[in-house]
Amino acid sequence: MIAIINYNAGNITSVARALQNIGQDFIITDDTKTLDAASHVIFPGVGAAGEAMAYLQQKKLDNWLNDWIKLGKPLMGICLGTQIIFDFSEENDTRCIGLVRGSTKRFPDNMLSDGRTLKIPHMGWNSVKFQREHPVFQNISAGAEFYFVHSYYPAPAQDSVVLGVTDYGIEFCSVLAVKNLVAMQFHPEKSGKPGLQILRNFCAWRGNDL
């Protein structure tokens, strides 16, 4: 069973609809005992880091996520669910979960591309340059584009965890992977066929075949 963590963040229903689209059973819950019974967990979300962490701590989901990773079971982070797996987020000066060493940073002001100022948030379709192969990203075409909506971006402390990068004024880590964790800044549930393929791959992944 796939479990979607409900932590009072937006966009969770979009992930649920995408799983329905691929015929995958799932539950949405913030109950740790219910989550314990899952085979895979998806940690999605749109919102602010400070509010999200407050809810996770209230429900003890921050500790639960650390324990889940230690079990070696698959975990997927999406957007805000990727940003708060780091040690710290510049958004609301928030101490985060610490599953991955590093921080979440805000895009610099006045970024330029071809002489024009880029808007923040970064919103729309963009490509990902993958650094290596990974089971969750099999059968994704080289020219695939994915849907982004964000003002902050992942900044891992170690380059070894970076799986893919995207260019928006600066080159930033848009996909990361370490052991049984994969996380992405874009929204696979809003990225058409390539995004649905990522979700299919994740649901078939066992977290230990890198």
Q: What's the average model confidence in pLDDT over 104-125?
A: 91
Catalytic machinery residues: 79, 187, 189
Q: What's the average model confidence in pLDDT over 168-177?
A: 97
pLDDT tens figures, 12-61: 999 999 999 999 999 999 999 999 999 999 999 999 999 999 999 999 99
Domains of the chain, each with CATH number or no CATH:
2-204 (3.40.50.880)
User: CA-to-CA distance for 8 and 23, rounded, in angstroms?
Assistant: 25
pTM of the model: 0.96
pLDDT tens figures, 127-146: 999 999 999 999 999 889 99
Is residue 210 over pLDDT 80?
Answer: no
Q: Do the beta carbons of residue 176 and residue 156 sit within 8 Å?
A: yes
Provide the pLDDT for residue 209. 56
